[in-house]
Amino acid sequence: DAGVIQSPRHEVTEMGQEVTLRCKPISGHNSLFWYRQTMMRGLELLIYFNNNVPIDDSGMPEDRFSAKMPNASFSTLKIQPSEPRDSAVYFCASSTGTALAPYNEQFFGPGTRLTVL
């Protein structure tokens, strides 16, 4: 298996632009997580899906952030409009589990390093 795949690996954009990050989870995994990592705040869970349904989006910082999972093999995290403070590494992870017990071993993708100028 190729593991969790994220694209792009690096993204540099200007403030106000729309940014879309993509993730392909490991086949057979039914839970998908989006995290953000910064030096100041560490690793933060933004949202997680179980069986393509968003279960907990309380970590999404504000309305500028949205995430979708149209099918079991694809998810997007969109920021519109982007701001410099959104600069971070965004990780996607997947695992097996249920909506109430999703926290088995998580497999992380390589991350997308986002820089908003």
Contacts to another protein by CB under 8 A? 4, 33, 42-43, 45, 48, 55-56, 58-59, 91, 93, 100-101, 103-111
* Residue with Cβ nearer another protein (38 or 80): 38
Contacts of 80 (CB under 8 A, 6+ apart): 18, 19, 64, 66
- Which tokens is 39 given? 């030096």
* Residue with Cβ nearer another protein (45 or 72): 45
- Which tokens is 70 given? 């149209």
* Residue with Cβ nearer another protein (58 or 71): 58
Nearest distance in Å: CB 81, another protein: 27
Nearest distance in Å: CB 12, another protein: 16
Nearest distance in Å: CB 65, another protein: 16
Annotate 43-66 with DSSP letters as a single string: EEEEEEEETTEEEE-TT--STTEE
Q: For the chain, how far is it from start to end, CA to CA, in angstroms?
A: 36
Contacts of 59 (CB under 8 A, 6+ apart): 44, 45, 46, 47
* Residue with Cβ nearer another protein (15 or 43): 43
Nearest distance in Å: CB 2, another protein: 13
